[in-house]
Amino acid sequence: ILPLKTIDEVSEDVEKWAQQKKEELEVLRKNEAFRKEFLLNLSHELKTPIFAVQGYIHTLLDGALEDPQVNRMFLKNATKNIDRLCRLLDDLDEISKLESGEMTINPETFVIQDLTRDVFDTLSLKAGTKDIKFSIKKGCEAPLHVLADKEKIRQVLINLVDNSIKYGKASGHTVASFYNMDGKRVLVEISDDGIGMMEDHLPRVFERFYRTDKARSRDIGGTGLGLAIVKHIMEAHHQTINVRSKPDIGSTFGFTLDSGKE
Ligand code: ADP
C-alpha cells in the first residue's frame, strides 16, 4: 500500500504535470509553425525557377524565337533555372533523409587533409572561374587522423568550400586549417576573404532557406539548404559547427571531428 500524500504534495504533482503538458504543447506548436514555414518557403523556392522558365518559354513563343541571339540567351537562362531546380530537389532529398533519422553514420579512420585536398580538386575548375586560390594553412600540413563518415564529411567540405567560392571575391583565397584540440578532437576551419556577413545573420545561417541576400544567393545558384545539411551531418556526428564573419573581410566556418583516440 502506498503511503497517502498530503494535499500539498498532490497539488505539487498536479502543477508539475500541468507544466509538463504545457511544455509539450509548446514543442508541438513550434513544430507545427516550423512545418508551415518550411512549406511556405519551399513552395516559394520551387515557384521562382518554374515561373522563370515559364516566362522564357512564353516570350520565345510570342516571337523572340525568331531572333537567334535572344533565343540562345533565353534558353541558357531557362537551363540555369532548371539546374537550380534539380539542385534544390537533390538537397531536399538529402535533408529529408537526414531529418527522418534515416541517415546512418559509417565511421572510418582517414586523414582529414587528404579529403580536403580531394574536395579542392573537385572544385578547382569552379574556383578557377573566379581566380580563387585554395590552400592549406602553413603549419597545418601534418596529417591528422579523424574517425567519421568520410562521404558525409566530404559533403560538409564541399558545401563549405563551394560557399567560399560563391561568396568569395574574384582573385580571393580559401584556406583550410586543421588543429589537434585536446588529443580527442580535431578542429577543421574553412576561411575565405569574401563578402562576409553581418553579425546579426550569423545565428541563423544554418536554418533551412535562410540567406543574407536571397536575390544574390539565387542568382549564383544557391538553394539555401547547404548549411542546413552541414549542420545536420555535424549533429549526427555529435560534433559542433560554428561561424565567424565580418562584412567585406570574410568568413570562417569551423567544425570539430572525433580523432578516434580515447
Ligand atoms: P546558399 O545555397 O544560399 O548558399 P547555404 O545554406 O549554403 O545556402 O548558405 C546560407 C547563406 O549563408 C547564404 O545564402 C549566404 O547568405 C550565407 N553564406 C554562407 N556561406 C558564406 C560565406 N562563405 N560567405 C558569406 N556568406 C555566406
Query: Does residue 56's CB lie within 6 angstroms of at least one atom of ligand 1?
Result: no
Res 1: pLDDT: 64
250 Cβ inside 6 Å of ligand 1: no
239: Cβ below 6 Å to ligand 1? no
pLDDT, tens only, 244-262: 999 999 999 999 999 998 7
Nearest CA owner, ligand 1 atom 20: 163
Which among 129, 118, 134 has a CA at the least distance from the CA of 191?
A: 134
Low-confidence ranges of the chain (pLDDT < 70): 1-2
What pLDDT, on a 0 to 100 scale, did the predictor assign at position 16? Answer: 95
- Residue 164: CB within 6 Å of ligand 1? yes
| From 158, 167, 175, 189, mutation site for ligand 1 pocket: most ligand atoms within 8 A of C-beta | 167
Q: Does the ipTM surpass 0.85?
A: yes
What pLDDT score does 142 carry? 96
Taking the CA of residue 222 as reference, the ligand 1 atom at the shortest distance is 2
pTM of the model: 0.86
Residue 69: predicted pLDDT: 86
Grid coordinates standing for 127? Answer: 574556383
Q: Is 45 in the pocket of ligand 1 (CB under 6 A)?
A: no
pLDDT tens, residue by residue, 206-258: 999 999 988 888 888 889 999 999 999 999 999 999 999 999 999 999 999 99
DSSP string, 88-142: HHHHHHHHHHHHTT------EEEEHHHHHHHHHHHHHHHHHTTTPEEEEPTT--S
